[in-house]
Amino acid sequence: MIADLSVHQRSLIFLLGSIGLITLPHAWHMPLPIVSFFLLLWFWRFVAVWQKQYLPKRWLLFVLTMLGIALLITQHRGLFGRDAGTALFVVALSLKLFEIQGKREVFLIVYLAFIVAASQFLYEQSILMAGYILLVCAALLATLIIQTANQVQTYTALKTSVSIILQALPLALVVFLLFPRVEAPRWMWLQDNNKALSGLSKTLEPGLISDLSLSDELVFRVRFQGELPPPALRYWRGPVYTKTDGVRWFVAGKNSQLLVQPEFSGETYSYTLLMEPQAQDWVFALEMAERFDDSLTTDAWHLLRTNKRFSERAEYRLTSRTQYKTTAITPADYQDNLQLPVEPSSKQLELIKTLQGFEVSPEQFIQNLMNHFRQEMFYYTLTPPLMPNNPIDTFLFETRSGFCSHYATAFVYLLRIAKIPARVVGGYQGGEFNKVGGFLEVRQADAHAWAEVWLENKGWVRFDPTAAIAPERIERGVNVDLQVASGAVYFGPLMGESVTLNWLKRGRQLWQSVDYSWQRWVINYNSANQTQFLQRLGIEGANALLKWLIGGVLVITLPLAWLLLRQKLPVKDKALKYYLRFCAKLAKAGTKIHIGEGARAFAERAKNQHPDLADQIEHITALFIRLRYQANAQPSDFIELKKQVRKLGS
């Protein structure tokens, strides 16, 4: 037991407070029963700091342990994975609090708390979370300092822990940059099935993209090497929907890699795309991607798929062209893109006949259909009425209002009736340019659907019927902030925005820019990025890397070791140091101190020989005697001694 009860209580309170702060962020992603179990035991141990009789007996502690094991088994399926492992450490930490008998148990609990703190980075890796974990780790380190030196004050312990962390940061930076990055093999990727991830769905139906349109959740960020493509060309290609049951449209199944690349022309755009965690292995490239990383493949529908962990943030380098011509269509694809669930209705056939769909060329019919959407009082809205049974007819002949998926699916459906192969493409359109960071931000509010039509001698050609109804949606993009706030449709910036809103937007862009740099250069600093960084420094090969690593560690540790190990003179010795300078100045003036001569005797002799310096000599001698031999010396006396010695003879 710790001998001093007051120190023991203070140390326990500080320890329990630190553990509470460490575990707090886990409350948002752990099951409620496990969080409640931890809070109950944590509060129980807090009360027992003052009321020791409330500490559980051995049999009760055994029951609590069994209850904790039961919670782990019932709340998590399986023994491995991020969630199960984190919950195990949290439950073990809460039970360990009742075993505190001395410093040894406190040390074990603190080390376990460090593991719980580090596990938070498995859930969130933002710069804010990193700062928070750094602060609470400083509190845990201060707990160790208090346990090592019982009489140290809390403020002093915190100051010391912060000093230790600041001293360790340069060494951590060198190791982070130079130590070889080892990435886990694919078979060690422990996925959590209950992990909630965002992204487009494999099924498209009215209402799905409407929900996404009211979300400002970030999907990816793009930094272009040169000029940005104009808004009308910012189509970020995603899944292709080919099959339909008349209500829902389904993503085409996985196919082999694309054997023949399209013929590319037009402007070239090279860019770096930083994807947020997604629910699918889709990567949304600017249509159409010509070159991309080795970690990406493209399927028969020109959808990029990644072999990286799509449930985590990842970066890709791509090059796209704005004009392209796809290869010939296979007979199977031709039939798949004419598929209809039922025979066309009389209204649908009548509309196609009116628009000359069975008579004119496909290009002319498409133009007629676009004009029909434009001229027949169709409306763009995020809140169309429900169309559960027959959405195509309901949209075309009754409501005439909807968002992009309504227009794209109805457009494709009518083309298929006219025996023109067509399909729906999902993805994102537009994006907001971050002027501070110089990159494009694409959010769920930018989710979009458009159509692709097979035309002879042209291949698959993009048509966006939404552009016929709301061209500003394509040309100006979505105003995410206003649309999310009001639920109404807003495109592009509003004229006359207030100065306050402008500053708030600029502040958000500044923070997004900081976060973007943090994600790119810290979180995504993998083996490939490290290799590129080292090559810029001219470091190639294991021997060169080892020399740089050892040299960097020595450059950091040797000065720190000198600062930490050098002996600092106490105030008394510092006073002697300046008194000897005083004696040296008088020696230059012709008065040397004799061996064994006291300070007071030397002062009297020096005053007789230098009457013009008598007052200064007396003052310096009095300060030295007070600092050297008297208990009532003040820090200000030493400052005054330094000042007077420097002024002597000047």
So which residues are the catalytic ones? Answer: 404, 448, 464
Closest CA to 34 of 79, 76, 97: 76
Q: Which two tokens stand for residue 72?
A: 């782990």
Long-range contacts of the stretch 537-544 (C-beta < 8 A, 24+)? none
414 within 8 A of 433, measured Cβ to Cβ: no
Strands of the sheet containing 314-325, edge to edge, are: 289-292, 314-325, 263-275, 218-224, 439-443, 432-434
Residue 285, beta-bridge partner list? 237
Let me know: does 576 contact 640? Beta carbons within 8 Å.
no
What Cα–Cα distance (Å) separates residue 336 from each residue in 205, 422, 600?
Answer: 19, 9, 109
Q: Phi then psi for 258, rounded to 5 degrees? A: -65, 125
Alpha-helix runs per DSSP H in 76-126: 82-96, 103-119
- Host H or E run for residue 27: none
The pair of structure tokens assigned to 13 is 């309170």
**Burial class (CB within 10 angstroms; exposed 0-12, middle 13-18, buried 19+) of 637:** middle
Q: Which among 617, 616, 638 is positioned nearest to 628, based on CA atoms? A: 638
**How many helices (H) does the chain have, and how many strands (E)?**
23, 18
Question: Own/partner pairs for 521-529, CB < 8 Å, 24+ apart?
Answer: 523/125, 523/313, 524/274, 524/313, 524/314, 524/315, 525/176, 525/181, 526/181, 526/183, 527/180, 527/181, 527/182, 527/183
What number of residues does the chain have?
650
Are residues 334 and 380 in contact, defined by beta-carbon separation less than 8 angstroms?
no
User: CB under 8 Å to 522, separation ≥6 — which residues?
Assistant: none
| Three-state DSSP state, 275 | strand
DSSP string, 309-348: -TTS-EEEEEEEEEEEE--PPPHHHHHHTT--SSPPPHHH
Rounded to an integer, what distance in angstroms lies between the CA atom of residue 205 and that of residue 408? 11
